[in-house]
Amino acid sequence: MLRDHPGLFLAGEMLDWEAPTGGYLLQGAFAGGRAAAAGMCDWLRDTGG
């Protein structure tokens, strides 16, 4: 969640990571998406949303 914008969660693929795959690391994107979704669920549960 962005600190300056409560309730705004971001997730996406990081490009240009130094890796032999050319920067398209799907596992990193999936893990980031899961972390953002878990944070959103926790925030909604805590705020009664």
pLDDT of residue 3: 87
**4 — phi, psi (to 5°)?**
-80, -10
Q: Where are the domains of the chain?
A: 1-49
The number of residues making up the chain comes to 49
Contact present, 14 and 28 (Cβ < 8 Å): yes
The three-state DSSP-derived secondary structure of the chain is CCCCCCCCCCCCCCCCCCCCCCCCCHHHHHHHHHHHHHHHHHHHHHHCC
Closest CA to 12 of 37, 29, 36: 29
pLDDT of residue 4: 93
pLDDT of residue 26: 73
pTM above 0.75, yes or no: no
pLDDT of residue 8: 85
pLDDT, tens digit (0-9, with 9 covering 90-100), for 1-49: 888 998 888 776 665 566 666 556 777 778 888 988 999 999 999 988 6
